Amino acid sequence: AYASIAQYLGFGSLGSGKVMGLAPYGKEDENIKPFVLDNGMVNSKLFYRTEDGANFIPYDYLPEKWDYRVWDNNTQKIANLTYRLQKDFEKWMTDFILRCESKNIVLTGGCALNCVANTTAKNLVNPLLCISISFIVDYLRLTNINFQ
């Protein structure tokens, strides 16, 4: 989802970090459609499949054009879109971790790079469940792999 939103916003498919960086400037907006439905599934009405993944399907509320250099109503709508994506991802990831039976969770790719979602999940997970969120760096450190 992050790559398709990044592409839609003009950041390119590798601009997911920019989407994450814009999210704190957004706010709750009832006009922004949820990325994750109440049943935990991705809202497939917002994306269409391509050979390379998925593309975002914009809707009427979102501006056709916006300029990140000018903070106006259009830019705020875009920030609200990224805010919603971030909040939905945080909830989805936390719910997923809580459903896992394993005590060890390894995050990779974009999930591992989303520090806000990782922190949110870590803080929300009940320590009594004995679930630890581990990063690959911890694994490498614990197995004494030496980088030289």
Percent of the chain with pLDDT over 90: 48
Query: How confident is the model over 16-39, as pLDDT tens digits?
Result: 999 999 999 999 999 999 999 999
Long-range contacts (CB closer than 8 Å, 24 or more residues apart) made by 138-144: 139/106
Query: Within 10 Å of residue 17's Cβ, how many Cβ atoms?
Result: 14
> What pLDDT score does 56 carry?
94
Say how far apart CA 110 and CA 21 lie, in whole Å: 13
Length of the chain counted residue by residue: 148
Global confidence as pTM: 0.81
Say how far apart CA 102 and CA 88 lie, in whole Å: 23
Say how far apart CA 68 and CA 75 lie, in whole Å: 6
The most distant pair of C-alpha atoms in the chain lies apart, rounded to whole Å, by 53
Q: Which two tokens stand for residue 70?
A: 């000018």
Q: Which two tokens stand for residue 27?
A: 């706010």
Side-chain-facing half-sphere of 127: CA atoms under 13 Å: 1
> What pLDDT score does 98 carry?
82
Identify the segments of the chain with pLDDT beneath 50: 127-137, 147-148
- Distance from the Cα of residue 67 to its chain's centroid: 22
Tell me phi and psi for residue 56, to 5 degrees: -75, 140
> What pLDDT score does 107 carry?
76
Q: Which two tokens stand for residue 75?
A: 């830019």
**77 closest CA partner among 8, 1, 143:** 8
